[in-house]
Amino acid sequence: MVYRLAQRLPIEEKFGLSDQVKRACTSIALNIAEGSASKSKKHFLVYLENSLRSLYETIGALKLIQELFGLEVEEILKQCDLVHKLIQGLKKNLTNN
């Protein structure tokens, strides 16, 4: 969804906000994947924190896109909320076990 939205941004944003929101969004999943290979839960939690930071960066970029270019981002923000809940649940599970 983020990549499709980024394609709708003006061409002058190709190396700006478009690239930034795509990198931030991709970083969420990549941090989780990399952290899942950790040898300890503590180390995995660090990667989950990094994925949350990338999620917050994605949300910030989406809100900027909405404000600056008037593009609708509500569905993506709903997905971000779901991702946030899933990451928090995973963190809680790792902390309690």
Q: Length of the chain, please?
A: 97
**Rounded to whole angstroms, how far apart are CA atoms 83 and 93?**
15
Residues whose CB falls within 8 Å of the CB of residue 20, separated by 6 or more in sequence, listed in order: 57, 61
Angle of the 41-69 helix axis to the 17-36 helix axis, nearest 10: 160
* Structural domain count, the chain: 1
pLDDT in tens, the chain (97 residues): 999 999 999 999 988 999 999 999 999 999 999 999 999 999 999 999 999 999 999 999 999 999 999 999 999 999 999 999 999 999 999 999 7
In a domain, 8, yes or no: no
pLDDT single digits (tens) 22-45: 999 999 999 999 999 999 999 999
Give me the CATH number covering residue 27: 1.20.1440.60
* Residue bearing tokens 């600056």: 68
pTM: 0.94
**Rounded to whole angstroms, how far apart are CA atoms 56 and 34?**
19
Tokens of residue 25, six digits: 């969004």
Provide the residue range defining the domain that includes 51: 14-96
Q: For position 79, what pLDDT does the model report?
A: 98
